[in-house]
Amino acid sequence: MIHKVSRLFSGVKPRGDKGSVELSRNIPRHVAIIMDGNGRWAKKRGLPRVAGHREGMKAIRRVTRAADELGVEVLTLYAFSTENWKRPSDEVSYIMKLPVDFLETELPELIQRNVRVMTIGSEEGLPSHTVEAVHKFKNETRHNTGMILNFALNYGSRSEIVQAVQSLMDQVEKGTLKRDDITEETFNQALFTCALPDPDLLIRTSGEIRLSNFMLWQLAYAEMWFTDVMWPDFNEALFKEAIAAYQQRSRRYGSVE
């Protein structure tokens, strides 16, 4: 497969056989991915947009396996944003059925791999069959102690931040929290991701170079890696290339070496 990586942001030179990259050190604890390009992948092939989402499921399987085998602790996938409700109703309906299909096909392997499924976002507005599938995923994997596979479903970062502010204000008004006690840490605890470390690496596919309202607070110091490859074509070799690029970065968090 021929692909073009946005080298300005990837920070790594072409390596020929990407699958041969040795990755044995400095694996990011938390990798977040904006899975973009399903619709365009399908359109390019003269297929309905839903065909791209169906093919994108295979990419999720590939990357989940690769992340687990490399020792990534948390893999967060941007599955459906609060803005995605603006898409055609038939496409939204199809996307909302994907958790059910994913449950039927992937749950046994996730259990075998000791992967725990989590979600961030709001259940409000989601169809009952989607919510039921998500709850079953969480329940069936809740005792697993391996990698966390975290889906951002009906998620928007600005909404998350507003809800966190409102929660902290409620505590101040009730007298259970003082204004001066509101710190970065207490704010973190009010977010959907309170139980997770911040992402170390953000990957976005399809050539777009923006965050699209995804984990705006949590990505403050994440390394970013962008590729022109559409999500349905994203594979283990590209995932490893992104990890290799991350390993070449110097993360100073505002200080000097």
Q: Report which DSSP code applies to 235.
A: -
Residue ranges at the known binding site: 36-41, 49, 53, 81-83, 85, 87, 204, 210-212, 223
Neighbours of 253 (CB within 10 A): 6
Q: What structural domains and CATH numbers belong to the chain?
A: 27-156+199-247 (3.40.1180.10)
Whether residue 60 contacts residue 77, with contact meaning beta carbons closer than 8 Å, is answered with: yes
Three-state DSSP class for residue 31: strand
**How far apart (Å, rounded) are the C-alpha atoms in residues 90 and 164?**
32
Q: Is 228 a catalytic residue?
A: no
Residue ranges at the known binding site for Mg(2+): 36, 223
Choosing from 36, 68, 200, 233, the catalytic residue is: 36
pLDDT of residue 197: 98
pLDDT of residue 22: 60
pLDDT in tens, the chain (257 residues): 333 333 334 443 333 344 444 666 899 999 999 999 999 999 999 999 999 999 999 999 999 999 999 999 999 999 999 999 999 999 999 999 999 998 889 999 999 999 999 999 999 999 999 999 999 999 999 999 999 999 999 999 999 999 999 999 999 999 999 999 999 999 999 999 999 999 999 999 999 999 999 999 999 999 999 999 999 999 999 999 999 999 999 877 666 66
For residue 25, the number of C-alpha atoms closer than 13 Å in the C-beta half-sphere is 3
- CA 214 → CA 118, 144, 151, 192, 239, distances in Å? 16, 26, 12, 12, 19
Q: Which two tokens stand for residue 76?
A: 């967060």
Choosing from 17, 68, 84, 150, the catalytic residue is: 84
At 77, phi and psi to the nearest 5?
-115, 125
The closest alpha carbon to 229, from 246, 208, 253, 207, belongs to: 207
pLDDT of residue 251: 73
| Rg (the chain; Cα; Å) | 19
The closest alpha carbon to 192, from 157, 223, 225, belongs to: 157
Q: Is 68 a catalytic residue?
A: no
pLDDT of residue 246: 97
148-155 β-sheet, strand order: 116-120, 148-155, 74-81, 30-34, 201-204, 223-226
